[in-house]
């Protein structure tokens, strides 16, 4: 009976630990995007099997509205400690993809897109 209890507790502990690990703080969050300090749109970030994806769900300009529904973040993965890498970000207006990294600090998501040795940063705010 003691072995059964210990085994049950161990399995339950592993299950709880797995659920806590799987719950990424970016999963199912919504972000106000900014470009040069101006609000541009809203992005919904979702998670599937440890991979984060971001979709433009609203835009503040007529040009931007035609890109609503576009997936702009793909393949982003958590490195731990609020750091993310391995993804790409798409500039919907230009249709170009850039390697990206991100870091989460409270309600601020700092993104950095790379093309060759050059990079550009943005800060998004959680909605």
pTM greater than 0.95 (yes/no): no
**Band of pLDDT at residue 36, cut at 50, 70 and 90:** confident
Nearest to 33 by CA among 91, 100, 106: 91
Give the integer Cα–Cα distance in Å for 114 and 97: 9
What pLDDT is stored for residue 16 in this prediction? Answer: 43
Give the integer Cα–Cα distance in Å for 69 and 59: 10
Examine the pLDDT at 4 and tell me if it is beyond 70.
Answer: no
């Amino acid at each position: 009976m003691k072995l059964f209890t210990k085994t049950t507790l161990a399995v339950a502990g592993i299950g709880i630990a797995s659920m806590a690990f799987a719950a990424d703080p970016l999963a199912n969050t919504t972000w106000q995007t900014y470009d040069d300090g101006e609000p541009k749109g809203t992005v919904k970030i979702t998670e599937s099997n440890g991979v984060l994806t971001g979709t433009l769900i609203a835009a503040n300009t007529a040009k931007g509205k035609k890109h609503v529904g576009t997936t702009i973040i793909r393949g982003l993965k958590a490195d731990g400690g609020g750091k993310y890498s391995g993804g790409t970000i798409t500039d919907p207006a230009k249709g170009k993809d850039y390697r990206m990294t991100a870091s989460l600090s409270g309600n601020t998501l700092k993104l950095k897109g790379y093309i060759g040795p050059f990079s550009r940063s943005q800060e998004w705010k959680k909605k």
